[in-house]
Amino acid sequence: MKIWEEKLKKEENKFRLKEDELRIKEKDLRSKEDNQKIENERLVKKDENLVSIANDLRNKEKELKLKDEEQNRKEIDLKAREEEQKNRELKDLRKKQKEQKIKADEEARQKDFEAQRIREWEQKFDEDQRIKLEEELQKEERLKRRDQLRRAIEEEKDRSLQDELFKRLDDFEINETKKN
């Protein structure tokens, strides 16, 4: 019996040891499970965090893309406005050049017109001077003829001849004025 008791005690000790081992293993297992749960929760949170970060990155990429598109539109608008401004300035420049050319042409035409008027006036003046000179020469010639006729009449003292000569002289003067 003692042996038996000892055996039993040994078995009981073994059994206790095994129970203790089992408890320790259970504790380890629970601890590992808890650690695994914690790790799983941590990984889930990490995944959620990564998903959130990925969403944030996608949103930021979208925002950047939108900003980039907006910037491109602004640059295109700016280029279009600059091109319009250049075209307006070029149009204004051409308009000013055309106006200056028209003004210069008008001034040249006016100068030509004035020069023509001056030439015409000079020609008319010269013609008037020439006519006056001719009239004076004719007048002097008539006066000389009259004087010659008077002298001739005085020399001849013939009345009938004198009347006839004065009549011819008057006819001559009338014909000369008609010609001029």
Q: Would you kindly state where each structural domain of the chain is located, as residue ranges?
A: 2-179
Q: What phi, psi does 9 have (nearest 5°)?
A: -65, -40
The pLDDT value given to residue 9: 80
The pLDDT value given to residue 170: 75
Altogether, the residues listed in the chain come to a count of 180
The pLDDT value given to residue 12: 81
The pLDDT value given to residue 11: 82
Q: What phi, psi does 6 have (nearest 5°)?
A: -65, -40
**Which of 127, 125, 122 minimizes the C-alpha distance to 114?**
122
Burial (CB count <10 Å: 0-12, 13-18, 19+), residue 142: middle
Return d(Cα 127, Cα 143) in angstroms, integer: 24
The pLDDT value given to residue 14: 83
Global pTM value: 0.38
The pLDDT value given to residue 120: 95
Q: What Å distances lie between residue 125 and 117, 134, 139, 177, CA to CA? A: 12, 14, 21, 21
Residues 6+ apart with CB under 8 A from 142: 169, 173
Q: Return the residue matching tokens 């008037």.
A: 128
Q: What Å distances lie between residue 123 and 105, 119, 129, 137, 157, CA to CA? A: 26, 6, 10, 21, 49
Return d(Cα 136, Cα 144) in angstroms, integer: 12
Q: Return the residue matching tokens 């259970």.
A: 26
For 59, half-sphere exposure in the C-beta direction (CA atoms, 13 angstrom radius) is 6
The pLDDT value given to residue 114: 96
Mean pLDDT per block of 10 residues along the chain (180 residues) reads 77 83 86 89 93 95 96 96 96 97 96 96 95 92 84 68 72 60
